[in-house]
Chains A and B, each alone.
Chain A
Amino acid sequence: QQQVKQSPQSLIVQKGGISIINCAYENTAFDYFPWYQQFPGKGPALLIAIRPDVSEKKEGRFTISFNKSAKQFSLHIMDSQPGDSATYFCAASISTNAGKSTFGDGTTLTVKP
């Protein structure tokens, strides 16, 4: 069964700290790895995404690190802010139909002021 395993389930970080969320996948055919951010009462929204031809992608305070050999990827949130408090989902898909994604179970991030 295709799975994406995400950890930790919940994370508490002080304002200004670094939040790190990890994901591991099994299907080597996956070639598109997005992260989604979801606030309570809202649908998930794309935050940042990476393809396996690069090992790192940075957008502002958000960075994805990708390790193809280990089949792992992670989200780093630098200088975490209370407004970053949300649930984060990693996902993986095959780019021929990248909308059909396999999602991790989510990480609830709380950033304390």
Chain B
Amino acid sequence: DSGVTQTPKHLITATGQRVTLRCSPRSGDLSVYWYQQSLDQGLQFLIQYYNGEERAKGNILERFSAQQFPDLHSELNLSSLELGDSALYFCASSAQQGIITGELFFGEGSRLTVL
């Protein structure tokens, strides 16, 4: 158990809809990262938050947004969903910005299916 909790584990929705994925990082971790894993592909970095502030952005679509709350949990909002958004969405956390070891602790992911 990595200590990172993601909900929901599975989500099925229709095109055009909006969903929110939630992540609780390991106790004490200030950094939260969101990654997308599409079928047969590696993980694509979406966005990072550190102590409530956005710190790095990857190939995140404009239809997607995220935030980190004062209690350090994070939410990834996906709107105007398309079939191609179907994927596993992972949240990861690290103690700092990952400067020292770079070790990420991943949750078990939220599997999104868009029909």
Contacts from A to B (Cβ < 8 Å)? 4, 6, 32, 34, 36, 41-46, 49, 89, 93, 95-106
- B33 contact from A32, A99, A104, Cβ within 8 A: A99
Cβ contacts under 8 Å, A44 to chain B: 43, 90, 104, 106
Smallest CB gap from B57: residue in A: A100
Contacts from B to A (Cβ < 8 Å)? 2, 4, 31, 33, 35, 40-45, 48, 55-56, 58, 90, 92, 94, 97-99, 101-104, 106-109
Q: Closest 10 interchain pairs by CB? A: A98-B102, A99-B98, A43-B106, A103-B42, A98-B98, A105-B42, A103-B43, A32-B102, A100-B56, A99-B94
Among A46, A96, A99, A105, residue most surrounded by chain B Cβ atoms (within 10 Å): A99
Among B31, B94, B102, residue most surrounded by chain A Cβ atoms (within 10 Å): B102
**How many angstroms between the C-alpha atoms of A103 and B40 in the bound complex?**
13
Smallest CB gap from B98: residue in A: A99
